Amino acid sequence: MISQHVSEFYINGEWVTPSSSATKMGVENPATEEIVAEIALGSIADADWAIMAARAAFPAYSLWPVAERIALVERLLAAYNARYEEFAEAMSLEMGAPTEWARGAQAWAGQVHIESTIKAAKDFRWEYSRASTRILHEGIGVCGLITPWNWPMNQIACKVAPALVAGCTMVLKPSEIAPLSGLLFAEICHEAGVPAGVFNLVNGTGPVVGARLASHPEVDMVSFTGSTRAGIQVATNAAPTVKRVAQELGGKSANIILPGADLQLAVTSGVEGCFGNSGQSCDAPTRMFVPRDRQEEALAIAREAAEATVPGDPKDPATTNGPVISKAQFDKIQGLIQKGIDEGATLVTGGTGRPQGLNRGWFVRPTVFGDVTNTMTIAREEIFGPVLAILPYDTVDEAVEMANDTVYGLAAYVQGPLEEARAVGRRLRAGQVSLNGPDWDTFAPFGGYKQSGNGREYADWGIADFCEVKALVGYGEA
């Protein structure tokens, strides 16, 4: 689904023509390499226009009662649900995601985050007393929201919904690589009756629009999801104005399979977790640690699971994996696969080139490496593709040490007897640790340690990130 406003921006409650200095960019379907739409790339002037609209709207919107802000987000959810299939179609088109994955994972993620935010907002402790002091949570102000291409609705919903209930106004810059679903989101904001200036959308590049959102003195907070490299630049641009910076960045997540785990189940689920979304998830379990004396068995299981993956036409019901997002990403992954071979890892399955039978689209062969050491490039760098590194360990202490030996700390996984898994989970330096394959919990805080970012998203954690805390000292009895 391509918005009728594909070449416009949404500013101050209206679809507007970009400034004369805006340029054009084609949007590619990575499954076919065909250009399916053309968007405008905003200039600094376009970003300023949207920022000042958000600034003008903030004083009135910030005073809306919480119940009215929640009702607004409930209307947003209704509008999202009414166009759910359009969101799924847009993400399949812009990402090459298989139809069922776009519907059941990508579009669902946007829906569930709006639902979770509504529930959390109703239970949130917006104000309370401590003796004669009254503690208030208030919207931080104008927010610059910069979202990625790999989970478009997941990240837009888990930023916009909490910002709205907190009483913030905002400017959203979706990824210019996958902007179609973001334009639909602006349409449903309009349909839901979001007041003029409260939500604004400007498409553009990170170095232009993203940098302006991060540096502009009228922006109070920037919430960014993307690479660690880009996150460093966002923080640098934000520093002179001392604005709040919330970031969810890269990952190289460890998956420790304990000696007492069901190896068949643990390895199979680990491969599926790594390869989901074509390996393009920042929290994907890309480093699998297995007992050394069971590595050969684990490699055989991993090979079978990887070879059951079916890359191909997103519209084919048999397809499990779509392409990666672009030629640049494809080339990067190819180089890292070759690096793994050159550095001496055992290529269990997959390798360089496209999967057999596919001669167009940025499809990557589902790849598994064994005998990986923690010093190899494929164990250190975020690959962001369907590539799994399996590292053998002799003791659980060694596995924990290797798992923590990374600049990243977004997520981690432990599989095995529950009490042992709990103990290991406490030792891992990661913001979210999943024990034995639980369901996705959209009320659990999501964010990273170390170079994986700062701040936490989802439900009440996301709401808190968009709030300032004020103390009214001497307030007296409530």
By annotation, the residues acting in catalysis are 248, 282
- Give me the phi and psi of 458, to 5 degrees please: 90, 130
List, edge to edge, every strand of the sheet that includes 199-201.
14-16, 9-11, 199-201, 169-173, 142-146, 221-225, 244-248, 453-454
CA distances from 383 to 49, 171, 274, 331, 451 (A): 37, 30, 11, 11, 16
Residues sharing a CB contact under 8 Å with residue 89, sequence separation 6 or more, in sequence order? 1, 102
CA distance 231 to 106: 23
Residue 103 neighbours by CB distance under 10 Å: 18
Residues 6+ apart with CB under 8 A from 381: 252, 336
Name the residue among 211, 192, 213, 193 with its Cα closest to residue 201. Answer: 213
Say how many residues make up the chain: 478
Degrees, nearest 5: CA angle 90-94-98: 75
Diameter over CA atoms, the chain: 74
Question: Is the CB of residue 430 less than 8 Å from the CB of residue 133?
Answer: no
Other Cβ atoms within 10 Å of 128 Cβ, number:
11
- DSSP-derived letter for residue 170 is E
DSSP string, 6-57: TT-EEETTEEEPPPTT-EEEEEEETTTTEEEEEEEE--HHHHHHHHHHHHHH
Whether 91 contacts 143, CB under 8 Å? no
Hey, what's the torsion of the CAs at 369, 434, 364, 402, to 10 degrees? -30
